[in-house]
């Protein structure tokens, strides 16, 4: 014969395979008829249709976030005032040098050149100012 199959099946085995194929096709057709086109059932709707959802803003969470921001701002203002008080209690030269070193980002050598003094004296002054600042700040 011209054609010989690789696997020889009995009639009963062939009937089982045909029934399985028929059942698989029937399930596929049923799923196609009842498919949820918008994916409501499998929680994919939000992923594929973002435009259908408005961002919900919970007023309680919004108020809580505002209160937290207000508390942080008040704390920041208190800290700034505390730093101003500490700076006002320091010697003028130390305050000036510490300001230039920390805020303006100048080196000890640059400050020494500006003030016409030695680098070592500016460095010692800044170290003393830092120590003094920490001590006064802690006690306030």
The CA-based diameter of the chain, rounded to the nearest angstrom, is 113
Q: How many residues does the chain have?
A: 140
* Stated pTM of the model: 0.52
Mean pLDDT, the chain, as a whole number?
A: 85
- DSSP strands (E only) in the chain: none
Residue range 56-98, pLDDT digits in tens: 778 899 999 999 999 999 999 999 999 999 989 999 999 999 9
Q: Which CATH class, in words, describes the domain spanning 59-139?
A: mainly alpha
Helix (H) or strand (E) holding 120: helix 119-139
Residues in CB range of 24: below 8 A, 6 or more apart: none
CA dihedral 55, 60, 64, 66 (to 10 degrees): 60
Residue of 128, 94, 87 whose CA lies nearest to 111: 94
**Higher pLDDT, residue 76 or 1:** 76
Long-range contacts of 69-77 (CB under 8 A, 24+ apart): none
| Spans of all domains in the chain | 11-52, 59-139
Residue range 12-49, pLDDT digits in tens: 988 999 999 999 999 888 877 776 665 565 666 666 66
């Amino acid at each position: 014969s011209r054609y010989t199959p690789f696997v020889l099946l009995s009639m009963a085995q062939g009937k089982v395979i045909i029934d399985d194929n028929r059942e698989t096709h029937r399930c596929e057709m049923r799923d196609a008829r009842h498919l949820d086109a918008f994916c409501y059932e499998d929680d994919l709707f939000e992923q594929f249709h973002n435009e259908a959802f408005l961002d919900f803003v919970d007023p309680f969470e919004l108020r809580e976030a505002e209160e937290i921001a207000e508390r942080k701002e008040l704390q920041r203002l208190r800290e700034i005032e505390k730093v101003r008080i500490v700076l006002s209690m320091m010697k003028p030269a130390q305050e000036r040098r510490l300001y230039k070193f920390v805020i303006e980002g100048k080196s000890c050598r640059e400050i020494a050149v500006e003030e016409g003094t030695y680098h070592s004296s500016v460095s010692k002054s800044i170290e003393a100012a830092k120590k003094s600042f920490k001590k006064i700040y802690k006690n306030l």
